[in-house]
Amino acid sequence: MTLSTYRKKRKFDRTPEPKGSISDASRRGDSLVYAMQKHMASRLHYDLRLEWRGVLLSWALPRGPSLDPAVRRLAMQTEDHPLEYVGFEGVIPTGEYGAGTVLLWDRGTWQPENLNTDGSLPEREIKFTLLGKKLRGSWVLIHTHSMRENEHRSTWLLIKHRDKYASLMDVTLEKPRSVASRRLLAEIARDGGGDVRRASMGDPAGLARRATRASTTRQRGKTRRSG
């Protein structure tokens, strides 16, 4: 577990992301934190983060999660992130790594369902329970391809197990807002001085335009009253 790749990719005098620290095992007894971030970068994706041994194991999901057990969603493992990242939402400036808008899409805790006898996570299949606001119940991450020499990432599939939380509802479309601020991507971009038009491309069609238009009208109203 190391944050060196995470830190190497970022300039902390420019990005609002946390530099972070690796916490010791003093959190033992507490539950493990979980987050899913919706990230409009060069491409829209969702970032799954699971706390493990002082860092957040991370996977980028190009199409986000699905509640349908028949659907397998690609999950590319990315560099470990600091624990502080579970609360991150905002704008990563143009030119920086991961430039774009980050929305805290889901947050909660998680529990591994299967562990090796030495207490480590399984290499091939991680079965786990999510206790988030939007994602709950049992899931599995299946490791399909390891890193090759010139590849940065290993490939996994995220699949929902059959339980009472399985559903055919498209949760990414039905529940697009931040669990932290109720904002859409476009509203986070606007508040953080980011690219609103580009961020809105990650929001459900129509919703973002209404949201940003409404807030612009409110802003104008405020200006008029105060002026």
**Closer residue to Mn ion, CB minimum distance, 50 or 138:** 50
Q: How far apart are CA 42 and CA 21, in angstroms?
A: 27
**Closer residue to Mn ion, CB minimum distance, 85 or 138:** 85
- In single-letter form, the type of residue at position 117 comes to T
Tell the smallest beta-carbon distance from residue 18 to Mn ion (Å): 14
Q: How far apart are CA 206 and CA 200, in angstroms?
A: 9
For binding to Mn ion (CB under 5 A), which residues are involved? 39, 47
Tell the smallest beta-carbon distance from residue 46 to Mn ion (Å): 8
| Nearest by Cα to 20 from 28, 9, 30, 29 | 9
Tell the smallest beta-carbon distance from residue 37 to Mn ion (Å): 7
Q: How far apart are CA 144 and CA 157, in angstroms?
A: 7
Q: In terms of C-beta density within 10 A (0-12 exposed, 13-18 middle, 19 or more buried), how is residue 214 classed?
A: exposed
Contacts of 65 (CB under 8 A, 6+ apart): 36, 46, 48, 73, 135, 158, 160, 171, 172
Tell the smallest beta-carbon distance from residue 100 to Mn ion (Å): 8
Residue 146: HSE in the Cβ half-sphere, 13 Å Cα cutoff: 4
Tell the smallest beta-carbon distance from residue 19 to Mn ion (Å): 17
**Closer residue to Mn ion, CB minimum distance, 59 or 138:** 59
According to DSSP, the residues that pair with 131 across neighbouring strands are: 109, 136
Give me the residue whose beta carbon is nearest to Mn ion: 39
Q: How far apart are CA 140 and CA 128, in angstroms?
A: 6
**Closer residue to Mn ion, CB minimum distance, 58 or 66:** 58
**Closer residue to Mn ion, CB minimum distance, 20 or 138:** 20
- In single-letter form, the type of residue at position 209 comes to R
| Nearest by Cα to 140 from 163, 167, 158 | 158
Tell the smallest beta-carbon distance from residue 16 to Mn ion (Å): 14
Tell the smallest beta-carbon distance from residue 172 to Mn ion (Å): 15
**Closer residue to Mn ion, CB minimum distance, 81 or 160:** 81
**Closer residue to Mn ion, CB minimum distance, 14 or 162:** 14
